[in-house]
Amino acid sequence: MLKKLFYNRTLVISVFVVLIIALTVVGLGPLIYSMIAGPGVTTEPLDDSRAKEASTDVNGQWRVGDGTAPNFTSVGFSFNEVLPAERRLTSGSTTAVDGEIEVTDQEVTEGSIKVLMEDLTTDKTVRDQNMKSKLFETDKFPEAFFKLTAPVDLSSVPEDGTKGKVTMEGELTIKDATQEIKQDFDVLRDGEHLVIGGAIPINRLDYNVKTPEFLAAKVAEEGDVNILISFKKQD
């Protein structure tokens, strides 16, 4: 009898302890998450406030370069993260971008961009690790690509250091999925540079970017691929 009572008491205490731990985790989840989260590293919009007049012919071959302030080359993403009591925009970005475009008779006739996904970074190490291993699976899919599929008319882009706007069509590949996109972009001729910037709205599920079951946060399905690329004329 005493043995049975002792067993029942132990069982009740064990269940009580488990409930306390569970409630503590649920209650502290948002707090813990807020300690490891932040706005991230953002690819900024194209800025023509310090641009100079174009100093080279637009026709020819252009290659991705580092860029100059404030238009340094980078590609990234922005998604909303949803907490029980908060919704915040989180971004990641990388400067590991390569590619070329060919311009003939003021039209971009060919163009491709490659982004090294392993170099994507936010502002938190833990989030970086989760982003690479669980979302983008960079060990399997180390690169993302954009390939132009239609000519782009640059004849209306100003030469005086102010930005213009063009429409681009192409194929965007993330992980093992490729989608057709058509989007407006800002274009700037700045001295010897040709700069393209903008945001491509995407649904991450279209690219098989699926999130695991996080404790406190959920990642929105809709987000943006953010682009700011500075090209330099090749000799």
Q: Report residue 65 as tokens.
A: 């370069």
Position 18 pLDDT exceeds 60: no
Residue 1's pLDDT band, with cuts at 50, 70 and 90, is low
**Alpha-carbon separation of residue 163 from 20, 81, 151, 189 (angstroms):** 59, 32, 19, 7
pLDDT at 235: 76
- DSSP letter string, 44-81: PPP--TT-----S-S-EEEEEE-EETTEE-EEEEEEEE
Q: Which residues pair with 40 in a beta bridge?
A: 91
Position 37 pLDDT exceeds 60: no
Work out whether strand 218-233 and strand 107-116 pair parallel, antiparallel, or are unpaired.
unpaired
pLDDT digits (tens, 9 = 90+) for 61-119: 999 999 999 999 999 999 998 777 778 888 999 999 999 999 999 999 999 999 999 99
Q: State the average pLDDT over residues 130-140.
A: 92
Q: Which of 33-42, 151-160, 206-215, 218-227 has the highest mean pLDDT?
A: 151-160
DSSP designation for 131: I
How many angstroms separate the CA atoms of 220 and 124, rounded? 19
CATH topology of domain 39-233: Lipocalin (2.40.128)
Under a CB-based contact definition with an 8 Å cutoff, are residues 63 and 100 in contact? yes
pLDDT at 212: 74
Residue 19's pLDDT band, with cuts at 50, 70 and 90, is very low
Position 31 pLDDT exceeds 70: no
Q: State the average pLDDT over residues 124-144.
A: 92
Mean pLDDT computed over every residue of the chain: 86
Position 21 pLDDT exceeds 60: no
Position 9 pLDDT exceeds 80: no
